[in-house]
Structure 1
Amino acid sequence: GEKRLAFRLVSRILSNKIVNRETFIRLMPTFWRTVDEVETKIVSGNTFFFTFKSATDLNRVLHGGPWIFDKSLLVLEKPIGKGDIQEMAFNTTAFWVQIHHIPLLCRTKKIGIFLGGLIGEVQEIDTSST
């Protein structure tokens, strides 16, 4: 059940062409710099199922992106309970963005959330530098 899904991710490469799957399976753990081996299964087309041996490796991959393969974006989702992988949306991924030329008086967390919200969903604001 849920415990078996704890260290698993499903991914889809957003491309109109089928990527070289063997190369993808061989290279992605190297790009991700996982400590332990990652088990990868092809679901269909450009959709893959990954099983990690540790939460550390899984979290590094999940939060270390965005990931690109063969000039195409790799979208990751964590499976939740039982369900059909084909029904998963694969429609969001996190990007770190930096907004320049903001007047000094407007460099607040509130303005950052507002401006970021114009681009997409804001997950975090870095207020460490101005």
Structure 2
Amino acid sequence: MKNLELKEGELDDVVVGEEDLVDLRKQARWLAVARVNTKKPFSSEALFETMKYVWGLAHEPELREVDDNLFTFKFFCLGDWNKVMHQGPWLFRKLVVVIAEYDGMPRPAEVPLNNTTVWAQIHSIPELYRNQRVVDQLAQRVGRVQSVEMNHQRWFEGDYVRVKAVIDVTKPLIRFAPLNLPGGRMLLHVKYEKIGFFCDVCGIMGHDMEECGDGIHPPEAIQYGKWLLAKRRVAVGGPRQFRAQGPGRDGGRGRARSRESRRSREGCRRSSEETCIG
């Protein structure tokens, strides 16, 4: 295109003044650019409907497809913006939706879309080293740290600290946080809470091992696996059971509550496949 000569009509500029720019910037508040971390095709309509459902926002967002697997999201209040941008990561069909802030100035394709937020756990830190200074340094091995929770409700199995960090989806997941002690190196196991699916061979999110290279790998090539996933604790006594009672006691409402409970649990399972909220 550098050899093209502009004609007269192509030199008639549209001028955007300073006053116009102030108004345009105000209208462009709460914008984001996004892509799904996959190379496979998918329906943009399915993405839009899924994300609007799992976000449950106060105002209907404007979701626009810019190019193949490239989208702009516009929100209309600070609460919706904060929820989407800060309560992720979000998943679509178990794939990470990579979202970045966008001021509307560059073309959407020029915005880097490689980083996502994850909740990770660093397990079995010896009590002597379980202090903020040491843990903060361990957390930096996972990614760019946003927060560290030393004391938290134990929704998952094991003895761990929680780390919210930004990671690069084009790089392998961190499996261990190394702690160098006078007696030698200790590898502390890192686990992830409901992360998008990843390859058991290369550890990169967005594809599985059968899609990595030619898909054929010897057993020793398997360097990652489900052992990197945090496992939820089972409540003592198991889930609460609803006892169905006959019409003589409550008119059959016991059975209705039981069916409602099953539907609720099934809905939660379906929802967990679509989204992950930290």
Q: Which residue of 2 aligns with 1:26?
A: 49
Q: Does 1:47 align with 2:63?
A: no
Residue identity over aligned pairs, in percent, reads 31
* Contact 2:35-2:98 at 8 Å conserved across structures: yes
Secondary structure in structure 2 of the residue aligned to 1:89: coil
Deviation (angstroms), 1:127? 3.1
Deviation (angstroms), 1:80? 2.8
Q: Does 1:91 align with 2:120?
A: no
* Cα distance per residue 1:31-61 (max 9 Å; x no partner): 1111111111101111111111111011101
Q: Which residue of 1 aligns with 2:30?
A: 7
- Give the number of aligned pairs: 130
Question: Structure 2 length as normaliser, TM-score?
Answer: 0.45
Deviation (angstroms), 1:5? 2.4
Q: Does 1:80 align with 2:98?
A: no
* CA distance in structure 1 between the partners assigned to 2:119 and 2:132 by the alignment: 15
Which stretches in structure 1 are left out of the alignment for 5+ residues? none
* Contact 2:98-2:113 at 8 Å conserved across structures: yes
Deviation (angstroms), 1:14? 1.1
Distance 1:81 1:20, change over 3 A: closer
Query: With CA pairs under 8 Å and 6+ residues apart, which has the higher RCO, 1 or 2?
Result: 1
Whose radius of gyration is greater, 1 or 2? 2
**RMSD across aligned C-alpha pairs, in angstroms?**
1.5
* CA distance in structure 1 between the partners assigned to 2:104 and 2:42 by the alignment: 28
* Contact 2:30-2:75 at 8 Å conserved across structures: yes
* Contact 2:32-2:74 at 8 Å conserved across structures: yes
Q: Does 1:102 align with 2:125?
A: yes
* Cα distance per residue 1:11-33 (max 9 Å; x no partner): 11111112211111112111111
* CA distance in structure 2 between the partners assigned to 1:81 and 1:26 by the alignment: 24
Q: Which moved more, 1:58-67 or 1:4-13?
A: 4-13
Secondary structure in structure 2 of the residue aligned to 1:124: strand
Question: Structure 1 length as normaliser, TM-score?
Answer: 0.91
Q: Does 1:118 align with 2:141?
A: yes
* Contact 1:19-1:70 at 8 Å conserved across structures: no
Which stretches in structure 2 are left out of the alignment for 5+ residues? 1-23, 153-160, 162-278
Deviation (angstroms), 1:79? 0.7
* Cα distance per residue 1:67-122 (max 9 Å; x no partner): 11122111101113510111111111111112110011211121122111112111
Secondary structure in structure 1 of the residue aligned to 2:34: strand
